[in-house]
Amino acid sequence: MVHLSEEERLQERAEGKQKGEQKECIKISKKLLHQNMDIVFISSIIGLSEKEIELLN
């Protein structure tokens, strides 16, 4: 059994939260693309780069 320090647990929690937020941004971006929203607009709202959003298409 591996015991993590408090700092390691907090780091893992922060990384997990960041991954979850990234997945949510991708999910929302895909929905907006399917609604024919402009890539520049999506990028300005969601925070992903235009290139990242283009790759979702």
Domain annotation covers residue 43: yes
Domain annotation covers residue 15: no
* Pick from 18, 14, 55: nearest CA to 43: 55
Domain annotation covers residue 12: no
Domain annotation covers residue 26: yes
pTM: 0.79
**28, 46 Cβ separation under 8 angstroms:** yes
Domain annotation covers residue 46: yes
User: Rounded mean pLDDT of 1-25?
Assistant: 90
pLDDT digits (tens, 9 = 90+) for 19-51: 999 999 999 999 999 999 999 999 999 999 999
Q: Is the pLDDT of residue 2 over 80?
A: no
User: Rounded mean pLDDT of 5-11?
Assistant: 91
Domain count, the chain: 1
